[in-house]
Amino acid sequence: MNYLNKKIISFTVLTFLFFCVLAPTVLAVDTGLDTTAEVGYGKTLFDSKIKGDKDISSIIGKIVGSLLAFIGVIFFVLIIYGGFMWMTAQGNEEQVNKAIEIMKQAIFGIIVVAAAYLLTKFIGETVIDAF
């Protein structure tokens, strides 16, 4: 290992150790922002003023939000998979084209899902505002 690599590695290790030692001190600092009392968090669940949503629109909204998050994860995995296939193609034109096609389809899919969500949200808000 040459001198420059040793210097870079030692600098990285020292920086990492410095921040590991400093982190608990920073987390112990009192910022004066005691927001838990304002929100209604109690020491136990029974003392808390936060209640679950019993409204059907809130429940459906949470389900849709969870599904959109899951679709986002699938999109991310497909993009990573396509990129990995492209990088490991080693000049194989068929595998490169397959990887590009996977990424194109993933991008097209996320655009369709986002457009459908935005259209539904726009129509829903317009209908609610009309009444």
What are the tens digits of pLDDT across the range 21-70?
A: 766 655 655 666 555 555 555 555 555 555 566 677 777 878 888 899 99
CA distances for 103 relative to 22, 34, 111, angstroms: 42, 46, 12
Q: How far apart are CA 44 and CA 127, in angstroms?
A: 40
The total number of structural domains that make up the chain: 1
Residue 86 resides in a domain: yes
Residue 94 lies in a domain: yes
> How far, in Å, CA of 32 to CA of 40, rounded?
17
Note down the domain range covering 124. Answer: 56-131
**Local confidence band at 83 (pLDDT 50, 70, 90 cut-offs):** very high
In a domain, 38, yes or no: no
**pLDDT for res 119:** 92
Asked if the structure places residue 9 within a domain, the reply is: no
pLDDT of amino acid 24: 64
pTM of the model: 0.56
